[in-house]
Amino acid sequence: MQIDWFTLVAQVINFLVLMWLLRRYLYKPILKAIDERESKIVAQLKDAESKKKEALKEREEFNKKNEKFDSERDELMQKVIAESKEQKKKLTEKARLEANALKKKLDDEILANHAAQKNEIEENIQREVLEIARKTLADLSSVDLEKQMVRTFVAKVNQLGKEEKEKFVSTLASGKDPILVQSAFDLSKSEKSEIQKEVNGLTKKEYGFEFKVNPKLISGIELSANGYKLSWTISEYIHSFENELNDPIQDKKDQPSDKK
Amino acid sequence: MELSPDERVFWEYGFIHINLTLVTTWVLMAVLVIVSYLITRRLRTDIRISRWQCILEMLVLGMNKQIQEIGLEEPKKYLDFIGTIFIFIAFSNLSIVFPGYVPPTSSLSTTAALAISVFLAVPIFGISESGVIGYLKTYVQPTFIMLPFNIISELSRTLALAVRLFGNIMSGGLIVAILLSIAPLLFPILMTVLGLITGLIQAYIFSILATVYIAAATQESKSKKIKLKPKN
């Protein structure tokens, strides 16, 4: 248990050499590597931090854009909805108007058809009724009836109003043609002379008379001269009845056009 | 029976003699340097590293942390010295697992060399930190009367360092040798395991004490800095 001084010195030198070698091959590289890694990690952390910040910023930006986009979309959607509502309203209105127009047209057509049918029926009825009247009166007509008619005609001439009388007289005076007297049957002489007498008495002039038989009159007498006509015939009554019947029909025909 | 590996001499020329202590030390040094070189030549600075690099980093950083905890603010400055003491003693002591191996720390010459290294390193670090006067002032702390006691303490602690390490390691080896002759089965193994623990603890104690001594020597500059701080 003695100290070997040579060994002691040698060990001190050995220790110093070992210290240098370990410094060279162990501590320095290890500490350097640790420092480098730490600085790298710090850099990476900083980088990550900056990236995180950037990402947050981008996310914020994205969110803002998203919100803006959403609001724009909502706005557009609202606009589109409003436009579509407006369009719908317009189209509905248009369709309603068209439908109304069509309905009106259809109603008019129905009414027109109905009126036409009614008119046709009425006209047929009229025609039939008149035909029946005409036939009945034609069948009933006889000489006695003619006599009665002459009397009635003469009475009618007598019953003319003042103005009518003046018109009648002036018309007869203006022309030279003979007065045409038409009857459904041939008149007897007495009847002819009665008529002549009555007319001459009214006009206080002698006029020439021409007597004609016209079966179309059915029954009655018609006096015409210079465009003036004075008559009493069954046919005339029927005509006036016919006219009366036709007037309401004409009125009904006019009614749809009045509505328009 | 050899009490010290110094006694086994391989080659001699005048006062120069190569004994087992020196040869073992060189082999240990060579192994340490080669292993360090092999590991550190391919160091990676990525986050993924090799397990060997990880072990070395843990070792270096652990030592750094210990030095810092004792009170040396810049551990990198003292790592070379204290780290080498710890690694050498620990490696030397742990190698007793190899049969026939005699640790160089069981030689009083080696432990004395290490203790002398500490003895010399304390004033070197102290002077480099706080200057000659600053370092010498530590000998008259807290009063001038303490000067002789401080000098005695300086010498006695160096002696204590050397003898403590030598005694522990030598006794461990001696006990194993004695037990081998008495009970060659099991007991020597247990004692070797105990020796491993003792060896590691001694390495720790030696390096920690060296750190404490250096820290005490550099206290002057530290107290100056603390005093200056409030003025700033």
Going from N- to C-terminal start, the domains of chain A cover 141-258
- Shortest Cα distance from A42 to chain B (angstroms)? 12
Backbone φ, ψ for residue B181 (5° rounding): -80, -30
What local confidence, expressed as pLDDT, does residue A259 receive? Answer: 41
Nearest-CA distance from A53 to chain B in Å? 23
CA distance A10 to chain B (A): 8
Asked if residue A253 has pLDDT above 70, the reply is no
End-to-end CA distance of chain B: 66
**Contact predicate A221/A181, CB 8 Å:** yes
Tell whether the model's pLDDT for residue A150 goes beyond 90.
no
Q: Give CA separation, A228 vs A57, B18, B223, in Å.
A: 114, 184, 161
* Rounded average pLDDT over B178-206: 88
Q: State how far residue B160 is from chain A, nearest Cα, in angstroms.
A: 15
Contact B6 A12 (CB under 8 A): no
Report residue A73's pLDDT band, with 50, 70 and 90 as the boundaries.
Answer: very high
Report chain B residues whose CB lies below 8 A from the CB of A2.
4, 6, 108
φ and ψ at residue A226, rounded to 5 degrees: 50, 40
Domain ranges of chain B: 5-99+106-231
CB distance B198 to B172 below 8 Å: yes
Please tell me which residue of chain B has the smallest CA distance to A13. B113
- Residue B126 CA, chain-centre distance (Å), reads 18
| pLDDT mean over B40-45 | 83
Of A51, A55, A53, residue with least CA distance to A63: A55
Question: Chain A, 24-43: which have a CB under 8 Å from a chain B CB?
Answer: 25-27, 29-34, 36-37, 40-41
- pLDDT of A257: 44
Query: How would residue A123 be classed by pLDDT, with cut points 50, 70 and 90?
Result: confident
B116 and A12 in contact by Cβ < 8 A?
yes
Helix (H, G, I), strand (E, B) or coil at B31: helix
> Order of strands, edge to edge, in the sheet holding A220-225?
A209-213, A179-183, A220-225, A228-233
CB contact under 8 A, A6 and B29: no
Q: Which residue of A1, A6, A11, A44 is the best one to mutate when testing the B interface, meaning the one whose CB has the most B CBs within 10 A?
A: A11
CA distance to A156, A159, A207, A225, B139, per residue, from A162 (Å): 13, 9, 21, 19, 178
Span B127-134, mean pLDDT? 88
CB contact under 8 A, A25 and B15: no
pLDDT of residue B174: 83
Would you say residue B38 has pLDDT above 60?
A: yes
Q: Could you tell me where the beta strands, DSSP code E, fall in chain B?
A: 9-13, 16-19
Query: With bands split at pLDDT 50, 70 and 90, how would you rate the model's confidence at B226?
Result: low
Phi, psi for residue B12 in degrees, rounded to 5: -140, 135
Question: Which pair of structure tokens corresponds to residue A99?
Answer: 């439908």
CA distances from B46 to A32, A34, A38, A246, B61 (A): 13, 10, 10, 119, 17
Those of residues 58-97 in B touching chain A at CB distance below 8 A are 60-61, 76, 79-81, 83-85, 87-88
Write the DSSP string, A34-85: HHHHHHHHHHHHHHHHHHHHHHHHHHHHHHHHHHHHHHHHHHHHHHHHHHHH
Distance, CA of A217 to CA of B49 (rounded, Å): 141
d(CA A232, CA A141): 14
Cα B97 to Cα A121: distance, rounded to the nearest angstrom: 142
CA distance from start to end of chain A: 147
